[in-house]
A and B are shown apart, each in its own frame.
Chain A
Amino acid sequence: MNRKGNLFSGNDIIKSIALMHDRSNGLGGGFAAYGIYPEYADFYAIHMFYESGACRETTETFLNEHFEIEIGGKIPTRKVASVTNAPIIWRYFVQPKPDRLLQSGLEVDEYVAQCVMRINSEYSGAFVVSSGKNMGAFKGVGYPEDMGEFYKLDTYKGYLWTAHGRFPTNTPGWWGGAHPFTLLDWSIVHNGEISSYDANRRYLEMFGYKCSLQTDTEAITYIFDLLLRKHNLPLDVVVTAMAAPFWSAIERMEPEKRELVKSIRTVFGPLLVNGPFSIILGSRKGFVALNDRIKLRALVAAEKGDYVYVASEESAIREVCPQPDKVWAVAGGEPVIAMLEGVDQL
């Protein structure tokens, strides 16, 4: 990410993730890119997968009922030999229909989020890939570098890019199941598996989130959305809820901090994410990278000037930034936070 918001092409992220080719097995690759649609920056960019033309038609009826569509069309792709069975891939730049929004009584982001949930859970064969402003997710079944070529990401420019190569272990490798997972501006790439998935899912369902994508990672996206957007909590509280310190470590804290952390663990116990993970949460304002509290997955960070990098391997950073000013191993449960200049909360 560039802290000043300067745009750079998708070439770097493709190069970087390609170096870690052997960490994935070709069953999922994807990218999130921020800052790529400046000409439509005020519109929600809805990226869609459709299994068939018929799915597209029924879903477009829903979209037309709920949104003013400024422009819609196929997302440009190029032929890549290894990429097969691609769905129909479209995007729309939209605004909620003012009368519908008014009737719903919802805040605008919530209106969009609820529409996304409805499509994903009620429109069989249709899948919302991303729904944020001035950002988009590009993913599918294949190695990440092949996905980058497929989606022509070298032709896009963004200030924040994340990427993921998947090695599915517990859930199917399907187009919608590749990372990143997104909702509004949030995107998540995740290495690991969540043993607390069901506890997390049950809690999230009480707030209207439907976990319908056959993967644990989806839940992490909604946890961030719930705590950051809906509850408007500061990032450090959110991180403490998700990767909470052990009770023994809490006991050793200064009294004031101890009471705060105790409260967070108690109130948000069901949102504690257990199991090995390293994740990057992307947003329009920056990113946060986080490991599980006992660091069962790899995470390295680096800085050079206005650029901040995180990756599973140091070499993936050095591939695009050979001489960083600073490289460090990130501790378990310790967030790496990078925000755009002038922003103080994600």
Chain B
Amino acid sequence: MYTVSRRIDAQGLYYKELNQLVRQAFSEGVTEVVLDNVNGQRYLGDGISSDGSIIIHGTPGNDMAAYMNGLQIVVRGNAQDATGNTMNEGTIVVHGDAGDTVGYAMRGGEIFIKGSVGYRVGIHMKEYLKKNPVIVVGGKAGAFFGEYMAGGILILLGLSGREGYPIVGDYCGTGMHGGVMYIRGQVEEYKLGKEVKIVDMTAEDESVLERYVSRYADYFGCDKEAILAQPFSKLIPFNKRPYGNLYTGV
């Protein structure tokens, strides 16, 4: 398949008009939409089923890629709150930071954030059969990371972020009842929600981690080996829900 590209200047466009132009482009056979001067327009890429891609220059607004189904979105800048809300399939690559509730109730697809994220990232993300959503964060995360997490994979690397702040905030995994988190380095016990425990990594964990850290390293041009050289903490929920023990081998 060859690429049919269309550039749209988003300067001053209301989100409704901009989203109409994006949808129109895909319906006319365009495979790559490049948006310039985006600032604050909400709902970009929402509910779109397509194999195409959107390249965003600027700061997209809240709820980017909500209910997205298959697109690849690349953000050359920072994303705001609720990126990938209830996203179903596709990939989001953010070459900056992202706000609170990234991957809110996400149920499929992959999100890669080069920098840091806010509070409640991965809140209530879930998995079902082959749908297994993944969020990889290169920097640090705020409190309530993976709150009420019901499935999927959260990976936190701590390669950058605000100085003097820990890799992850308090109440990590509060209410978590499915899925798995991999956090690079140590996480103090007091930070964990009471539903979460730290367990040993298995060979399968190593291979999952390697797969997604490779992708992160490819997207953002960094050294995979260096990232993987430091041990990770693996976090899973205590309770016996079907997916709670997926990676424990018991």
Contact = CB atoms under 8 A, between A and B. Distances in A.
Interface stretch (A48-56, A109-117, A314-322): A314-322
Nearest to A322: B39
Interface of A: 19-20, 22, 248-249, 252, 294-295, 298, 300, 313-316, 318-319, 327-329, 331-332
Interface residues of B, number: 26
A318 B10 CA distance: 14
Interface string B139-182: 00011100000000000000000100100011100000000000
Interface string B110-137: 0000001011000000000000000000
B25 to A, nearest CB: 22
B47 interface: no
B142 A329 contact: yes
Given A294-B143, A295-B143, A313-B80, A329 B40 contact: no
B15 to A, nearest CB: 8
Given A19-B39, A316-B40, 19 more contacts: A19-B40, A22-B15, A249-B170, A294-B119, A295-B100, A298-B81, A298-B99, A313-B61, A313-B80, A314-B80, A314-B99, A319-B39, A319-B40, A329-B97, A329-B116, A329-B142, A331-B143, A332-B142, A332-B143
SS class, residues of chain A in contact with chain B: mixed
Interface in B27-82: 39-40, 42, 58-59, 61-62, 78, 80-81
B190 interface: yes
A336 B233 CA distance: 32
B40 A315 contact: yes
A318 B59 contact: yes
Nearest to A251: B190
A313 B61 CA distance: 8
Most chain A beta-carbon contacts within 10 A, residue among B58, B80, B162, B171 = B80
A173 to B, nearest CB: 23
B12 to A, nearest CB: 10
B190 A314 contact: no
Given A315-B40, A315-B80, A248 B100 contact: no
A332 B80 CA distance: 17
A328 B162 contact: yes
A22 B42 contact: yes
A314 B119 contact: no
Contacts of A319: 39-40
Contact of A327 (B78, B81, B170): B78
16 contacts: A19-B39, A19-B40, A20-B40, A249-B170, A294-B143, A294-B144, A295-B142, A298-B81, A313-B62, A315-B40, A315-B61, A318-B59, A319-B39, A329-B97, A329-B116, A331-B142
Contacts of B62: 313
A11 B143 CA distance: 36
Given A20-B40, A248-B190, A313-B40, A298 B100 contact: yes
Contacts of B39: 19, 315, 318-319
A241 B44 CA distance: 40
Contacts of B143: 294-295, 331-332
The 8 closest A-B pairs by CB, nearest first: A315-B40, A315-B59, A295-B119, A315-B39, A329-B118, A19-B40, A314-B59, A318-B59
